[in-house]
Amino acid sequence: MPRTLLGTRIRENRRSKKISQAALAKSAGISASYLNLIEHNRRGIGGKTLLALARVLEIDPRELTEGADQALIDRVNQSAASTPSINCETSRTEEFIARFPGFARLIGRQFEQSAAQGETLQAMSDQMNNDPFFSEAMHLMLSNITTIKSTAEILSDDQTLPDTLKGKFLNNLLDEANRLAQTAEDILQHFEPSPENNTQTSDNATAEALLEQHDFYIDDLEKNGTSAQVYMDTLSIPDEEQPETLKTLERYTEITKMLPIQAFLPIAQKLQFNPIALSQDLNIPLTLILKRLAHMPRADDIPRFGIMECDGSGAVIFRKKLPTLSLPRFSGACPLWPIYRSLSQPYQPIKAFINTPTGERFLTYSLAQYDEPNAIGMPARASAVMAFTPDYDMLLTKPQIASQPNLAVGLQCPVCPRDNCAARRSKYLLQ
């Protein structure tokens, strides 16, 4: 602890206890002028004098000698950095903490609370933006409102309506109002905190958020050859989240090592980003090509690829969603998705168009494989990858697109309105 702050701390303690410099000096058995030098940080002290001063000030000597808690310094500095326009005197943070420890702790506490609330808000915002249930519910509500508005306008504008028609429209109005109320109730229930719908973050939520922030393409890892560990060290990742984040970043750097973007991009452009052609031309496993395509720079002449990886149970282990196709984080998606079909036929690539109930269309490439050689007595560990793109017209010609079969799929059963689906495992919540 720098000597400078020891004197400051003694002075602040003395003042807070309303003791004069002369009185403190006398009680501690030193001269007032010496105490003055100490308080202005011009003399160092220790041993007997320090103990005497602490005794008179009725505080633990360690409160005078030990520096401010580094975590508190960090929090106060972070708080200052969060509003740079105020220009806080961060070069004097330690002095501030020494002089006003209570206020410093208050700032630290408030910064922590504010950061925690910010994270909660972000998580809620993510849920609102990416929740297929919410999106579907909003769509249904707007349809309900349209019917109600249009029917109410008819009833209000046309006073000459025959009673039979009036009765029919009133019944429609009531039915639609009931549906609207039910939809609203479903939404409330969906967002009600309960053990069933507790959306705790997955192990790799931080890594996923980090990749999303960079649109799944990190220049430092791509072009500068920075290692995953070195890159992660430049970030403020909480200790407990570092192992999973590192694992995800290392998975990314494996891709960049095997298929450096500078070499890959021209070939991909030449082969119109066709994953199967790229796999054959480069003699690289298709799964790696699919992963590379999900980590590409953003440009108009590069198709957008999302990706989903699952283990043999269908659980999602990695995902890159696209604005037009949300992917489940915790549970399985629609069982009709080609990625699940690929699990039943490992090493056979599946190319298929999927249509979602919201009218979006994607070209998908899926492949399942065994992750490790089968150990004696142990089941094989399979995993599957599915890359998908809405920019299929950059990969295929119009006749090729027209000749591809379309597969009507959903996102998840509770938000899928498709009738008579043999694969349905739970009812559509918004009926």
Partner 1 sequence: MAKSVLLVEDEPFIIEALSFLLTREGLNVSAFMDGDGCVEHIQKTNPDLIVLDMMLPNKSGMQILEELRAIEGFADLPVLMLTAKGQKKDRTAAEEAGVSLFMTKPFSNKEIIRNIHTLLSA
**Residue ranges in contact with partner 1 by CB under 8 A:** 138-139, 142-143, 145-147, 149-151, 153-154, 157-158, 165, 168-169, 172, 175-176, 355, 357-361, 408, 417-419
Both tokens of residue 290? Answer: 């699919």
| Residue with smaller CB distance to partner 1, 123 or 155 | 155
199, containing H or E segment: none
| Residue with smaller CB distance to partner 1, 139 or 247 | 139
| Residue with smaller CB distance to partner 1, 285 or 417 | 417
Residue pointed to by tokens 């168009």: 353
> What CA–CA distances, in Å, run from 313 to 129, 187, 423?
27, 29, 16
| Nearest of 325, 336, 338, 315 to residue 294 by alpha carbon | 325
Q: How far is the CB of 329 from partner 1 (least distance, A)?
A: 23
3-state secondary structure of 216: coil
Q: How far is the CB of 389 from partner 1 (least distance, A)?
A: 15
Both tokens of residue 224? Answer: 């500068």
Q: How far is the CB of 321 from partner 1 (least distance, A)?
A: 16
| Residue with smaller CB distance to partner 1, 158 or 233 | 158
| Residue with smaller CB distance to partner 1, 185 or 360 | 360
Residue pointed to by tokens 């196709």: 325
352, containing H or E segment: strand 350-355
| Nearest of 250, 243, 246, 339 to residue 287 by alpha carbon | 339
Strands, E assignment, 274-343: 306-311, 316-320
Q: How far is the CB of 399 from partner 1 (least distance, A)?
A: 12
Q: How far is the CB of 154 from partner 1 (least distance, A)?
A: 6
Check: CB of residue 97 under 8 Å from CB of residue 76. yes
| Residue with smaller CB distance to partner 1, 150 or 229 | 150
Whole-number Å distance between alpha carbons of 407 and 131: 22
| Residue with smaller CB distance to partner 1, 71 or 165 | 165
DSSP 42: S
Check: CB of residue 83 under 8 Å from CB of residue 107. no
Residue pointed to by tokens 């379309």: 406
Q: How far is the CB of 325 from partner 1 (least distance, A)?
A: 13
Residue type present at position 121: L
Check: CB of residue 24 under 8 Å from CB of residue 7. no
| Residue with smaller CB distance to partner 1, 377 or 399 | 399
Q: How far is the CB of 151 from partner 1 (least distance, A)?
A: 5
Strands, E assignment, 280-332: 306-311, 316-320
CA atoms within 13 A on the CB side of 116: 7
Residue type present at position 223: K
Q: How far is the CB of 79 from partner 1 (least distance, A)?
A: 38
| Nearest of 253, 284, 282, 252 to residue 267 by alpha carbon | 282
| Residue with smaller CB distance to partner 1, 238 or 359 | 359
Check: CB of residue 256 under 8 Å from CB of residue 214. no
| Residue with smaller CB distance to partner 1, 247 or 321 | 321
Residue type present at position 87: N
3-state secondary structure of 213: helix
For the chain, what percentages of helix, strand and coil (3-state, to nearest 5) are there? 55, 10, 35
Q: How far is the CB of 166 from partner 1 (least distance, A)?
A: 11
Q: How far is the CB of 153 from partner 1 (least distance, A)?
A: 5
Q: How far is the CB of 176 from partner 1 (least distance, A)?
A: 6
3-state secondary structure of 383: strand
| Residue with smaller CB distance to partner 1, 299 or 376 | 299
